[in-house]
Amino acid sequence: MKIGIFDSGAGGLTVAKSLIEQPIFNEIIYYGDTARVPYGTKDSNTIIRYALEAIEFFNNFNIDALITACNTVSAYALPSMRSKANYPIFGVIEPGILALNNKIEDKNANILIIGTRATVNSRRYEDELKKLGFSNITSLQTGMLVPIVEEGITQGKVLDAMLEYYFKDIQTPDAIILGCTHFPLVAEAIGNYFSNKPLLIHSGDAVVEYLFNKGYTPLEKEPQITIYASDNVIGLRQIASQWL
């Protein structure tokens, strides 16, 4: 089976990595819209338009399913995308919510959601977690972590200063939803900031767990992956070779 993976840029590679480590598909076609990243600062109409253009891109590949490995797109565009495709399209928000729910029993646990401005404003994580009974939720826009990851900066003083800026008033949470697929690339620094106490929920691992629950079965062999970018192919290749 051939799976498409779509993100605004390099972040979806964190989902691709999970699907390489726990293979489910023989072939991965990855598309990062690096010409227009970040999506998280855009309006919902623009995010939907870009997502529909990604569907047109994937029309060239005869894919069996698509993972929207972008929380921002998953928050706004899944219904429009599904109306244009004749294969299943999976987002990353529902899997992330289920992963957290499976791992955290205490409904009063202190949950921190971090994501782009668009994802946080959509309230998708917050509303669904509240429906499941979680009551102690903080949502925080940490969109500057997206360009820093696209720059290939995953450690060091600039990143640490950014984490201090975002987290200085935040109490150490029990769990953090990395509600942007770029964030696992800086997960080590985020974990360290909070002395590695919080459980980190990662979209890639959550999607793999979700697909297994949907009846997809593991394969023995690593998938073949082909990576496409709408701009800065060299930059994406560098991040891919580091991360994958």
The least CB distance from residue 62 to ligand DGL, in Å, is 25
- Type of residue at 112: L
3-state secondary structure at position 134: coil
Inter-residue contact 44 to 118 (CB < 8 Å):
yes
Which is nearer to ligand DGL, 11 or 223 (by Cβ)? 11
Q: Exposure of 202 by Cβ count < 10 A (0-12 exposed, 13-18 middle, 19+ buried)?
A: buried
Q: Does 68 bind ligand DGL (CB under 6 A)?
A: no
Q: Dihedral angle at the C-alpha atoms of 137, 144, 243, 124, nearest 10 degrees? A: 30
- Type of residue at 173: P
Question: Residue 34 catalytic?
Answer: no
The pair of structure tokens assigned to 15 is 């989902």
Inter-residue contact 100 to 176 (CB < 8 Å):
no
The least CB distance from residue 217 to ligand DGL, in Å, is 27
Which of 7, 29, 50, 124 binds ligand DGL (CB under 6 A)? It is 7
Question: Residue 70 catalytic?
Answer: yes
Name the segment binding ligand DGL (CB under 6 A); options: 23-31, 33-41, 102-110, 225-233.
33-41
Taking residues 118 to 157 in sequence order and writing x for each that binds ligand DGL by CB under 6 A, - otherwise, the string is: -x--------------------------x-----------
The pair of structure tokens assigned to 16 is 């691709």
- Type of residue at 31: Y
Which is nearer to ligand DGL, 48 or 180 (by Cβ)? 180
Given 47, 175, 178, 180, the catalytic residue: 180
Query: Given the rule CB under 6 A, which residues bind ligand DGL?
Result: 7-9, 11, 37-40, 70-72, 116, 119, 146, 180-182
The residues assigned a catalytic role are 70, 180
